[in-house]
Structure 1
Amino acid sequence: MIVPITPDSWMRVRRALDATADRFAELLVAARAVPARATVHWSVGETAAHVATLSKLLVAMTDPGAGPFPFPGGKELVRETVVDSVAQLNEVLLGEFTERDPVVLARLIRADISRTLEATEAVDPVAAVPWLGGARLPYAGLLAHMVNELQIHGWDIARGARLPWTVPPQEAGLFFDLFLLGVIHHGYGRLLEGHGPVPKGRITVEFSSPYTATRVMALTGGSVTVEPPNGRPDVRLSFDPVTLNLMLFGRISKSRAALTGKVAVRGGRRPWRLPAFMRIVRLPS
């Protein structure tokens, strides 16, 4: 099985989404009176509002009875968004969604997550749905993406407000197993457009962690595929899922992740090819 979507992983991602939404809502209430910024650009309220726009999009993508798309013109914008234009999508959605009270937003996000879990209770977790940039994402990956958004932005808010926030590595690992592998396997559409010159030849990177499946991502002529371990990758990369996710989304630097040993090159035939691979296979940061 290239993408490890099983009844067990489906149950785990549903439980993780439910539990992380609860913790995120509690964090928002605790941080409601903190004047500190969560990120360079966003306050706690703005960060929470961003997460609320994502939870509303999640409902629209999973609940057939959700009604009209929640943001005017948003459906077309979602289809046209690629990795390098996610920031513009976020700003448009924030401009259309004006609530900024963390306590109100905590209730809205929690309600959206509950609605999503109810709407997806009987779906096939392997079935793919349309996503950003013409990509297709399995339901399990869609839920794992939202888990990661709550984890990353929970980290932002907790750091700014100086409040505790921990992420279990097994839950962080769902992003790799279900989202990253899922979107590559089912088709990532135009998501990776804008990356510049394509490296020559083929680059294979084996990703391994105690909390995820071991898989190889292969970059060939600008196209990325997922393969089972083959014993001779160009790069062997071991990772802690929490650290990898923070690094991929620009919360910590690649050098810091490497210095901690939590994202580390452990060999391979041509480990120096990793930067060229990461220039193409990237996430919004």
Structure 2
Amino acid sequence: MAAGFDPVVEHERTRAALRAAVPRLAGLLRDAPDGGAPSGLPGWTVSDVDAHLCAVCLAYCSAFTGEFDGWDDVLPPGDGPFVERITAVNAKAIGVFADEVRARPGDAVAERGEAFLRVTEGLAPDTPVPTPWYGERIVLTLAAATGLLLSETLVHGLDVARGARLPWVIPPDEARLVIGQAFPTMMPMALDVERARRVRIAFDVALKGGPRLAVVVEDGAATVTRDAPPRAYDCRITAAPVTFLLIGFRRVPLWKAVARGRIRAGGRRPWLATSLTELIASP
């Protein structure tokens, strides 16, 4: 464990951030004037985003409560590529809550977000959380799952706000929590294996105010280590935390972030910075 990083304290901070963000998102969904309007996510309406978020909360809750047992109807067969699997699951899962969110926008998100926090209260950050939607045998830690729920809340809140033309703020501290808690798990899972074959690159990703990630891609696999010991890197990336979060989820193009001075590349091979977004996929 790196000095200054306490996983228990950071997990509780992530829970607190999620507890504050969920009702804020629910209020945004209720304020959206037209659930059928396009969101900021191409192909999805505001109500689609609402339904997706309900499905996500249900999925994570069910890891502890077993309340949803319809995975055979939602999951694609086998373990396909990450993006294809998540895209297929998302398309089917939206239908589970489509009618409810049209009748009660924001309510189901608030209820199920609170339910997740309630059923996981007092559990250790390393508690296992089965996540069959990511893969048949994929199990996350509770810390990573909570960070992912926070990312869903923050990023999809932005999608709703862009579509509804309403304000939405992603606080830098909350972006840091997502990056520190979820990215070390999700970036290796989201690696484009075919593109990464015969690739060997080590990135030093430094977020302003922390955390720092060592991202090593080697022969079709990736490892992401938080606050890693010193080593030689090919490329050093320095970024504002909200910018890096939105680049990771393809909500902000890399070129625009560079033009605005929100992300910089250095090290002995700075031109490799663009390779990170090419190698790490996003559904």
- Normalised to the residue count of structure 2, the TM-score between the two structures is 0.87
Structure 2, unmatched stretches of 5+, are: none
Q: How many residues align?
A: 276
Over aligned residues, Cα RMSD in angstroms?
A: 2.6
Alpha-carbon shift at residue 145 of structure 1 (Å): 0.6
Alpha-carbon shift at residue 50 of structure 1 (Å): 1.2
Task: Classify the secondary structure of the residue corresponding to 1:276.
Answer: helix
Does residue 280 (structure 1) correspond to residue 279 (structure 2)? The answer is: yes
1:206 matched to which residue of 2? Answer: 204
Deviations 1:152-180 (A, max 9, x none): 11111111111110011110112211111
Task: Supply the AA of the counterpart residue of 2:130.
Answer: P
Task: Classify the secondary structure of the residue corresponding to 1:181.
Answer: helix
Does residue 136 (structure 1) correspond to residue 139 (structure 2)? The answer is: yes
Question: Separation in 2 of the partners of 1:223 and 1:207?
Answer: 18
Task: Describe the shift of the 1:220–1:197 C-alpha distance in structure 2 as closer, same or farther (beyond 3 A).
Answer: closer
Task: Supply the AA of the counterpart residue of 2:59.
Answer: L
Task: Classify the secondary structure of the residue corresponding to 2:222.
Answer: strand
Task: Supply the AA of the counterpart residue of 2:57.
Answer: S
Task: Describe the shift of the 1:251–1:103 C-alpha distance in structure 2 as closer, same or farther (beyond 3 A).
Answer: farther
Question: Separation in 2 of the partners of 1:210 and 1:196?
Answer: 29
Does residue 42 (structure 1) correspond to residue 44 (structure 2)? The answer is: yes
Does residue 157 (structure 1) correspond to residue 152 (structure 2)? The answer is: no
1:67 matched to which residue of 2? Answer: 67
1:239 matched to which residue of 2? Answer: 239
Task: Classify the secondary structure of the residue corresponding to 1:250.
Answer: coil
Specify which of 52, 55, 58 is matched with residue 54 of structure 2.
52
Question: Separation in 2 of the partners of 1:77 and 1:59?
Answer: 23
2:112 matched to which residue of 1? Answer: 112
Q: Which aligned pairs between 1:74-93 and structure 2 lie closer than 5 A?
A: 74=74, 82-93=82-93
Task: Describe the shift of the 1:145–1:164 C-alpha distance in structure 2 as closer, same or farther (beyond 3 A).
Answer: same
Question: Separation in 2 of the partners of 1:232 and 1:68?
Answer: 46
Alpha-carbon shift at residue 280 of structure 1 (Å): 2.2
Q: Which aligned pairs between 1:174-193 and structure 2 lie closer than 5 A?
A: 174-183=177-186, 188=189, 191-192=190-191
Question: Separation in 2 of the partners of 1:59 and 1:70?
Answer: 14
1:255 matched to which residue of 2? Answer: 255
Question: Separation in 1 of the partners of 2:113 and 2:77?
Answer: 23
Identity %: 25
Task: Classify the secondary structure of the residue corresponding to 1:196.
Answer: helix
Alpha-carbon shift at residue 258 of structure 1 (Å): 1.1
Task: Classify the secondary structure of the residue corresponding to 1:122.
Answer: coil
Question: Separation in 2 of the partners of 1:76 and 1:37?
Answer: 27
Task: Classify the secondary structure of the residue corresponding to 2:250.
Answer: coil
2:148 matched to which residue of 1? Answer: 145
Aligned residues of 1:14 and 1:117 also touching (Cα < 8 A) = yes
Question: Separation in 2 of the partners of 1:102 and 1:244?
Answer: 33
Question: Separation in 1 of the partners of 2:237 and 2:221?
Answer: 20
Task: Describe the shift of the 1:35–1:109 C-alpha distance in structure 2 as closer, same or farther (beyond 3 A).
Answer: closer
Task: Describe the shift of the 1:114–1:96 C-alpha distance in structure 2 as closer, same or farther (beyond 3 A).
Answer: closer
Alpha-carbon shift at residue 254 of structure 1 (Å): 1.0
Task: Supply the AA of the counterpart residue of 1:144.
Answer: G
Task: Classify the secondary structure of the residue corresponding to 1:165.
Answer: coil
Alpha-carbon shift at residue 72 of structure 1 (Å): 4.8
Question: Separation in 2 of the partners of 1:103 and 1:231?
Answer: 54
Does residue 223 (structure 1) correspond to residue 221 (structure 2)? The answer is: yes
Aligned residues of 1:25 and 1:107 also touching (Cα < 8 A) = yes
Alpha-carbon shift at residue 44 of structure 1 (Å): 1.2
Question: Separation in 2 of the partners of 1:5 and 1:78?
Answer: 37
Alpha-carbon shift at residue 183 of structure 1 (Å): 4.4
Question: Separation in 2 of the partners of 1:229 and 1:148?
Answer: 27
